[in-house]
């Protein structure tokens, strides 16, 4: 039968579901709006989409590696509460997503959603089913793959922080130790040579303004700026940081001793950059009471 655009629009407003899902439900029910809405409720689709506006800032990081160890990835899968993040079903889903993305060789979340899982359903269908059963919004936020000539080390700290480090030279043990270091120390760049010129110029400007307030001659200020910049670069570049397992040695010295080179790294932390809503109902009620009293 022919389903009109207006009928699809009405069903979308009622359920909050996607256009294609609404059209499919209407076709299956002969255009009956009530029956289509009920069908979608039974399938968990309407429920899942209504939860899509809720902030999912908890969750976990999962990783997967190829058998040869030269390619790996990390994925962040979010939910609304830490309680759900620790449930076996949710954790199994995140691991399955990581494995599917690795096998497909993609970092595109939209592509990952359409990938099949071992049970036969797609990632997206499985995600919606989980939302319907668990009752929380669940999202696949991001995927980061990494390949290296020798090996990619992976490390996941608990469930909240995951890191990858690619090596040319060295071995799997060193790669994993460095992934642990990246997870703990969160470097921004590999070496000072990798720092963009615009970043350096901006930091020099800030450091110069700070040093100018100390009343030193211009030539002294210039030396102070460069010295402080070198110190800052050592803190934010992987090779300049003290190695987390032996702070007496920098990562750069560790790599030199192993005749190895870091070719890339990635680090995910659950919820970083997501603005979380804070709802303090007691404070809200007290604010309303005080406002009412002020008007008397």
Q: In this structure, which topology does domain 5-53 adopt according to CATH? A: Helicase, Ruva Protein; domain 3 (1.10.8)
Report whether 27 contacts 3 (CB < 8 A).
Answer: yes
Reported confidence tier of residue 280, pLDDT bands at 50, 70, 90: very low
In terms of C-beta density within 10 A (0-12 exposed, 13-18 middle, 19 or more buried), how is residue 281 classed? exposed
Architecture of 54-146 per CATH? Answer: 2-Layer Sandwich (3.30)
pLDDT tier at 281, thresholds 50, 70, 90: very low
191-248 pLDDT, tens digit per residue, is: 999 999 999 998 888 888 888 888 778 888 888 888 999 999 999 999 999 999 999 9
For the stretch 285-296, pLDDT in tens is 455 456 556 555
Q: Where are the domains of the chain?
A: 5-53, 54-146, 148-185+247-273, 197-234
Domain 148-185+247-273 of CATH type 3.30.479.20: yes
pLDDT above 50 for 19: yes
115 Cβ neighbours under 8 A, 6+ residues apart: 100, 101, 104, 106, 122, 123
Of the options 1.10.260, 1.10.3470, 3.40.1800, 1.10.286, the CATH number for the domain spanning 197-234: 1.10.286
| Region 84-95 average pLDDT | 95
pLDDT at 285: 47
pLDDT beyond 70 at 277: no
Question: Among the listed ranges 13-22, 24-33, 251-260, 271-280, which one has the minimum average pLDDT value?
Answer: 271-280
Query: For position 34, what pLDDT does the model report?
Result: 81
């Amino acid at each position: 039968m022919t389903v009109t655009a207006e009928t699809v629009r009405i069903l979308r407003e009622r359920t909050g579901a996607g256009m294609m899902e609404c059209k499919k439900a209407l076709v299956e029910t002969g255009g009956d709006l009530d029956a289509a809405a009920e069908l979608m409720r039974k399938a968990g689709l309407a429920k899942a989409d209504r939860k899509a506006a809720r902030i999912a800032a908890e969750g976990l990081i999962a990783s997967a590696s190829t058998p040869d160890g030269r390619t790996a990835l990390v994925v962040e899968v979010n939910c609304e509460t830490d309680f759900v993040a620790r449930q076996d079903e949710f954790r199994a889903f995140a691991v399955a997503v990581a494995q599917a993305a690795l096998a497909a060789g993609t970092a595109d979340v939209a592509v990952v959603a359409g990938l099949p899982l071992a049970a036969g359903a797609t990632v997206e269908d499985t995600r919606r089913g989980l939302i319907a059963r668990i009752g929380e919004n669940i999202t696949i936020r991001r995927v980061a793959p990494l390949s290296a000539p020798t090996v990619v080390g992976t490390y996941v700290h608990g469930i909240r922080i995951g890191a990858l480090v690619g090596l040319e030279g060295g071995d799997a043990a060193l790669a994993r130790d460095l992934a642990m270091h990246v997870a703990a120390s969160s470097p921004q760049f590999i070496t000072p040579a990798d720092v963009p010129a615009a970043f350096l110029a901006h930091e020099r400007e800030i450091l110069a303004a700070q040093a100018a307030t100390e009343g030193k001659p211009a030539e002294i200020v210039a030396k102070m700026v460069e010295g402080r910049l070198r110190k800052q670069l050592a803190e934010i570049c992987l090779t300049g940081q003290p190695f987390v397992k032996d702070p007496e040695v920098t990562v750069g010295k560790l790599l030199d001793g192993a005749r190895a080179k870091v070719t890339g790294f990635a680090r995910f932390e659950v919820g970083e950059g997501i603005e979380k809503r804070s709802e303090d109902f007691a404070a809200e009620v007290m604010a309303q009471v005080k406002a009412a009293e002020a008007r008397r």
